[in-house]
């Protein structure tokens, strides 16, 4: 079930009932102290890779009801913890546009059994003021990540008329939101939500394979890497689309990525973020091994991947 709007959090928690364990961060709790006040147990989710953090918290999680209150990493940790216990569910209150609340994609805890299930939150509460609560620089990067979800869903082999319709609406919502002054936060939150749904149904492809590879090699922030790559990967995705993607969206997707970057205070490429040429070489080598590249045919080879990384530098 999805709750959307200013009262979404209270609606979701009221229906969930007492006795849940809350996984969150100081930033999120500082915004809405009423949320932890309703929890039976509160766990701080430390920095670190999802699989390692989930493993470090597994013995401290009590009960069958988990609520993740934070960004994509916090939600993914909660999903990984839910996967360790049969019947354990997750509700998600996102504070970014990462879209993790809409997907069953997440790493498993380090010592999870080989057959551990993938978990999608069964209840989602999206309050636009929370979901778009990051400082403008970070919000722009998060919006670029969400836009990439939708754009990639429009190109992927797993697409359908339904996912195409939802992904198109997501792209237009995000574009409209960042074209407005001030930023249209309701539209932006809706765009992120729809983009998460779309990518969950189609699967990731070229853009996110490349972004995830860079993050794994460099340990740079996920959203910032997505924002740096999108102006280049948008063209590569458009050339692979099943239809005239740019005309369908009504604007130049590469131009939108530039708008998102201009909307923040950061116009940073991968080098400015801290990536070295050796790391970009390693990222291309890692990306070319990922089977998800087949979701955006023709499959990008090492030369194209490295060229895209160079252009994003």
Q: Please give the angle made by the CA atoms of 93, 94 and 96, to the nearest 5 degrees.
A: 165
Confidence of residue 68 (pLDDT cuts 50, 70, 90): very high
Claim to verify: residue 49 and residue 157 sit in the same structural domain: no
- Contact by Cβ (8 Å): 241, 296: no
Is residue 17's pLDDT more than 90? no
Claim to verify: residue 184 and residue 111 sit in the same structural domain: no
The two three-digit tokens of residue 272, written as one number = 């400015």
For residue range 164-178, what is the model confidence (pLDDT) as tens digits?
999 999 988 888 887
Claim to verify: residue 151 and residue 237 sit in the same structural domain: yes
- Domain count within the chain: 2
How high is the mean pLDDT of the chain?
Answer: 88
Confidence of residue 84 (pLDDT cuts 50, 70, 90): very high
Q: Please give the angle made by the CA atoms of 273, 225 and 198, to the nearest 5 degrees.
A: 165
Burial code of 100-138, b = ≥16 C-beta within 10 A, e = fewer? Answer: bbbbebbbbbeebeeeeeebbbebbbbbbebbbbbeebb
How many other C-beta atoms can be found within 10 angstroms of the C-beta atom of residue 258? 15
Q: Domain of 236?
A: 136-311
- Contact by Cβ (8 Å): 201, 151: no
For residue range 121-140, what is the model confidence (pLDDT) as tens digits?
999 999 999 999 988 888 88
Paired residues of 66 in beta bridges: 21, 90
- Contact by Cβ (8 Å): 78, 66: yes
Q: What is the pLDDT of residue 146?
A: 92
Name the pTM for this structure.
0.90
Claim to verify: residue 115 and residue 206 sit in the same structural domain: no
CA 284, 289, 292, 293 torsion-angle sign: positive
Claim to verify: residue 108 and residue 22 sit in the same structural domain: yes
Paired residues of 68 in beta bridges: 23, 92
Claim to verify: residue 185 and residue 105 sit in the same structural domain: no
The two three-digit tokens of residue 53, written as one number = 């953090």
């Amino acid at each position: 079930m999805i709750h959307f709007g200013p009262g979404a959090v209270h609606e979701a928690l009221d229906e969930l009932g007492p006795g849940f364990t809350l996984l969150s961060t100081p930033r999120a709790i500082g915004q809405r102290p009423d949320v932890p006040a309703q929890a039976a147990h509160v766990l701080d989710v430390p920095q670190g890779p999802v699989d390692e953090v989930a493993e470090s918290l597994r013995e401290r999680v009590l009960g069958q009801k988990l609520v993740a209150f934070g960004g994509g990493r916090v939600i993914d940790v909660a999903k990984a913890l839910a996967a360790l216990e049969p019947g354990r569910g997750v509700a998600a209150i996102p504070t970014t546009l990462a879209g993790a609340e809409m997907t069953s994609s997440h790493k498993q805890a380090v010592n999870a059994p080989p057959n551990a299930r993938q978990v999608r939150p069964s209840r989602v509460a999206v309050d636009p003021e929370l979901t778009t609560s990051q400082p403008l620089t970070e919000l722009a990067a998060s919006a670029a990540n969400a836009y990439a979800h939708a754009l990639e869903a429009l190109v992927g082999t797993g697409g359908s008329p339904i996912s195409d319709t939802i992904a198109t609406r997501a792209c237009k919502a995000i574009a409209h939101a960042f074209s407005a002054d001030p930023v249209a936060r309701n539209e932006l939150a809706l765009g992120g939500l729809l983009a998460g749904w779309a990518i969950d149904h189609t699967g990731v492809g070229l853009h996110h394979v490349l972004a995830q590879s860079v993050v794994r090699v460099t340990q740079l922030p996920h959203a910032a890497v997505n924002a740096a790559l999108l102006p280049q990967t948008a063209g590569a995705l458009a050339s692979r689309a099943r239809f005239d993607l740019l005309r369908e969206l009504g604007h130049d997707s590469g131009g939108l990525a530039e708008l998102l970057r201009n909307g923040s205070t950061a116009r940073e490429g991968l080098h400015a973020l801290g990536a070295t040429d050796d790391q970009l070489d390693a990222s291309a080598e890692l990306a070319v091994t990922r089977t998800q590249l087949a979701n955006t045919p023709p499959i990008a080879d090492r030369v194209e991947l490295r060229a895209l990384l160079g252009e994003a530098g």
